[in-house]
Amino acid sequence: MPQLIEYIDAIARQKQRDALFVTFYDDPTGGPSPYRWESHPGRAAVVEWLDAHGYAWQPCGEVANENIMRSYRGSIYIDVPYDRDNASYCALETFLEYPDGSLRMPHMRFLVIGLDYAQKNAHHDEPGFWTRWAEDF
């Protein structure tokens, strides 16, 4: 069944705050992919942990770009404010990162997109923007 997947920058604009997300990638050396996002062990572990701990999350696209069209690559928006005084954020950070800030699982990134940066694509929110874009592609 088709599913509408929002870009992370659109989510940040909707929430009117910085937005947390996790991306998953293949071999960092550029070698052949050992798996696709559907079978990525790190992604499965993150989703399982989020669900077990009651975190709201949704699939998301990476930052929208009018010059690139790509399929969904497994990224996840996590509906928690980026706030080190927030207990939910701290628990998430502890799950994903070691105390030195390095990630606990390979082949993933834990990121935040700032609302100011996301606002650069605010014109994408205009009614009919993506329809017009597709017609001119």
Averaged pLDDT for residues 89-108: 95
Q: Which residue has the higher pLDDT, 4 or 34?
A: 4
Averaged pLDDT for residues 38-66: 94
Q: Domain boundaries in the chain? A: 8-136
- Rounded CA separation 10/118 (Å): 7
Of 37, 39, 53, 45, the closest CA to residue 5 belongs to 37
pLDDT in tens, 99-114: 999 999 988 999 999 9
Sign of dihedral through CA atoms 31, 34, 37, 41? negative
